[in-house]
């Protein structure tokens, strides 16, 4: 239906009178010539829905579970996630991270959920605001935190914000551009020199804290927007005194720590794992990464997120089974990701050893939850020990790695844990350093006591976790 400019102006006046109820407004736009309605910038935050969750974990004690809503269930919606919350909880994670829930643009589209048409709405493909609230309420009742995927760098080309062209990067002819040098031609690059756009972005983030009681954000392509924007945004978010928020930067810039993010993203850890498994490179580079790269600029408690798969690399590079030596090899890699000084992230389906890719744009492939129960049991075992060990979650790291075996201790108070993970598809004889040889330990999983000598044989892709 064609809407006249006179009618649009009347609607805008009416919306301003009830702006506290509707945080933004835009006319649905198809590929026709129907104009985009300018956004209404709301000055007042919505009323707080529900009771702010007071059991958000310490950022050092987090384990994250990433949900690709389209692939997660046969229904491919928020209700399909909610019905499996008990299974997610049983795995041993305490943070549920939902991939973008927002309406997707239709101009230049590839149907990516990272092409956001409206920052303050729920995609009808996934359900309603009530469905999101119900999911978050159900997670909170199980003592799990929920964070949303936020896409700050760009919008769809039919987002209502595009009526304010100064909010976007433009060429000399005034055409709105895609993010330069990325190949992301379905999205429009925002202009972070525009102060009004920044304020609208921050207000939209705060909207979800109030309207749905979310507990934080995973911020997509966080190294795209400038550092000073993140300082402004995070200061504003931290100013919501009723909420403790977890903020994850999908980025690696050290300044992300200084502006207040809790976490950076372990891109290089994943790439180095691939080189170890695929190109027989030295395991020592993981410790070098730990000491020299991932924690530059971090203060106590800030962490790197480490993973052996996520929605991007699962689609582009392959599954953990394909990249990291099948079930045994990928578990040896996950132990390192979960136990070294880091926060582990599991991508849905990883815990059942899904042998096929969940491919972009995430529309057709579903997870078979009946696969490989023995893999699920092993993930539960590994995460249960992490959850019960302060040394693993918060302890001081000391490295004893070799070219084949990732070896380290974690120590906190009277607790000390020794981790050996053979990242090779061959048996390796590991020579213990003097600090560890001829010492008594207990197997972290079985309780069996053992006394180490000068050497220990580690079977192909075997991991050993000892404590005392």
Per the domain annotation, does 16 fall within a domain? no
Mean pLDDT (whole number) for 359-383: 94
Give start and end residues of each alpha helix (H) in 259-372: 267-279, 284-292, 311-316, 320-323, 326-339
CA 432 – CA 434 distance, rounded (Å): 6
Per the domain annotation, does 27 fall within a domain? no
Q: Are residues 222 and 286 in the same domain?
A: yes
Q: Are residues 79 and 168 in the same domain?
A: yes
CA 102 – CA 105 distance, rounded (Å): 10
DSSP state of 467: E
Q: Are residues 307 and 412 in the same domain?
A: no
End-to-end CA distance of the chain: 71
Residue 92, phi then psi, degrees to nearest 5: 110, 10
Contact, 232 vs 69, CB < 8 A? no
CA 284 – CA 454 distance, rounded (Å): 20
pLDDT digits (tens, 9 = 90+) for 186-233: 999 999 999 999 999 999 999 999 999 999 999 999 999 999 999 999
Tell me which of 394, 424, 439 is where a domain ends. 394
Q: Are residues 310 and 216 in the same domain?
A: yes
> Which domain CATH number covers 462?
2.60.40.1180
- Is 1 exposed, middle or buried (CB count within 10 Å of its CB: 0-12, 13-18, 19+)? exposed
Give the number of domains in the chain: 2
> Which domain CATH number covers 178?
3.20.20.80
Structure-token pair, residue 197: 């756009």
Identify the weakest region by mean pLDDT among 20-24, 280-284, 297-301, 352-356.
Answer: 20-24
SS3 296: coil
CA 229 – CA 219 distance, rounded (Å): 13
Model pTM score: 0.90
Q: Are residues 322 and 354 in the same domain?
A: yes
Tell me which of 345, 375, 394 is where a domain ends. 394
Per the domain annotation, does 23 fall within a domain? no
Nearest to 95 by CA among 103, 104, 85, 105: 85
Per the domain annotation, does 53 fall within a domain? yes
What local confidence, expressed as pLDDT, does residue 392 receive?
Answer: 98
Nearest to 304 by CA among 350, 256, 349, 271: 256
What local confidence, expressed as pLDDT, does residue 39 receive?
Answer: 54
Per the domain annotation, does 7 fall within a domain? no
Q: Are residues 267 and 405 in the same domain?
A: no
Contact, 61 vs 30, CB < 8 A? no
Per the domain annotation, does 238 fall within a domain? yes
- Between β-strands 64-67 and 343-347, what pairing exists: parallel, antiparallel or unpaired? parallel
Q: What is the DSSP string of 348-390?
A: TTGGGT--S---TT-SS----TTS-HHHHHHHHHHHHHHHH-H
pLDDT digits (tens, 9 = 90+) for 92-138: 999 999 999 999 999 999 999 999 999 999 999 999 999 999 999 99
Would you tell me the crossing angle of helices 326-339 and 373-388 to the nearest 10 degrees?
Answer: 20
The overall average pLDDT reported for the chain is: 91
> Residue 411 sits in which domain range?
399-467
Mean pLDDT (whole number) for 137-143: 98
Is the pLDDT assigned to residue 5 strictly greater than 70?
no
Q: What's the helix, strand, coil split of the chain in %, to 5? A: 35, 20, 50
pLDDT digits (tens, 9 = 90+) for 433-445: 999 999 999 999 9
- Is 435 exposed, middle or buried (CB count within 10 Å of its CB: 0-12, 13-18, 19+)? exposed
Per the domain annotation, does 1 fall within a domain? no
Q: Are residues 289 and 427 in the same domain?
A: no
* 363 band by pLDDT with thresholds 50, 70 and 90: confident
Is the pLDDT assigned to residue 30 strictly greater than 90?
no
Nearest to 208 by CA among 308, 315, 111, 129: 129
Tell me which of 368, 394, 420 is where a domain ends. 394
Q: Are residues 437 and 407 in the same domain?
A: yes
Q: Are residues 195 and 269 in the same domain?
A: yes
What local confidence, expressed as pLDDT, does residue 436 receive?
Answer: 93
Q: Are residues 385 and 445 in the same domain?
A: no
Q: Are residues 248 and 290 in the same domain?
A: yes
* 19 band by pLDDT with thresholds 50, 70 and 90: very low
CA 41 – CA 396 distance, rounded (Å): 48
Q: Are residues 331 and 442 in the same domain?
A: no
Q: Which residues pair with 326 in a beta bridge?
A: none
Per the domain annotation, does 15 fall within a domain? no
Contact, 63 vs 157, CB < 8 A? no
* 184 band by pLDDT with thresholds 50, 70 and 90: very high
């Amino acid at each position: 239906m064609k809407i006249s400019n006179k009618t649009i102006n009347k609607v805008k006046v009416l919306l301003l009178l009830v702006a506290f109820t509707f945080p933004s407004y835009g006319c649905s736009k198809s590929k026709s010539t129907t104009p985009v309605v300018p956004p209404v910038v709301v000055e007042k935050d919505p009323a707080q829905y529900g009771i702010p969750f007071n059991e958000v974990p310490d950022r050092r004690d987090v384990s994250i579970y990433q949900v690709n809503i389209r692939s997660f269930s046969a229904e491919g919606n928020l209700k399909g996630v909610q019905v499996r919350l008990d299974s997610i909880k049983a795995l041993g994670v305490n943070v549920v991270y939902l991939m973008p829930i927002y309406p997707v643009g239709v101009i230049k589209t590839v149907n990516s959920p990272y092409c956001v048409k409206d920052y303050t709405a729920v995609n009808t493909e996934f359900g309603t605001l009530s469905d999101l609230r119900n999911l978050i309420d159900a997670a909170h009742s199980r003592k799990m935190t929920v964070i949303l995927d936020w896409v700050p760098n760009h919008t769809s080309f039919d987002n209502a914000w595009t009526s304010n062209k100064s909010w976007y990067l433009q060429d000399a002819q005034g055409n709105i551009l895609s993010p330069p040098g990325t190949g992301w031609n379905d999205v429009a690059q925002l202009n972070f020199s525009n102060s009004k756009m920044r304020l609208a972005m921050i207000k939209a983030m705060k909207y979800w804290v109030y309207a749905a009681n979310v507990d934080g954000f995973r911020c997509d392509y966080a190294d795209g927007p400038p550092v000073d924007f993140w300082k402004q945004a995070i200061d504003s978010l931290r100013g919501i005194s009723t909420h403790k928020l977890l903020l994850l930067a999908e980025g690696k810039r050290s300044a992300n720590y200084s502006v207040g993010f809790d976490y950076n993203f372990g891109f290089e850890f994943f790439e180095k794992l691939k080189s170890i498994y695929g190109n027989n490179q030295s395991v020592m580079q993981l410790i070098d990464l730990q000491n020299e790269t991932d924690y530059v600029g971090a203060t106590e408690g800030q962490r790197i997120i480490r993973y052996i798969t996520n929605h991007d690399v699962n689609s582009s590079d392959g599954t953990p089974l394909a990249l990291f030596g099948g079930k045994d090899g990928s578990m040896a890699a996950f132990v390192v990701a979960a136990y070294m000084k880091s926060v582990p992230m599991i991508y849905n389906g990883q815990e059942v050893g899904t042998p096929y890719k969940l491919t972009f744009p995430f529309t057709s492939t579903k997870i078979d939850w009946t696969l490989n129960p023995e893999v699920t049991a092993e993930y539960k075992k590994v995460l249960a020990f992490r959850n019960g060990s302060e040394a693993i979650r918060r302890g001081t790291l000391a490295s004893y790695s070799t070219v084949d075996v990732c070896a380290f201790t974690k120590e906190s108070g009277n607790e000390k844990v020794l981790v050996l993970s053979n990242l090779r598809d061959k048996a390796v004889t590991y020579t213990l350093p003097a600090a560890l040889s001829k010492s008594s330990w207990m197997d972290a999983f079985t309780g069996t006591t053992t006394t180490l000598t000068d050497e220990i044989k580690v079977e192909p892709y075997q991991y050993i976790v000892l404590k005392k």
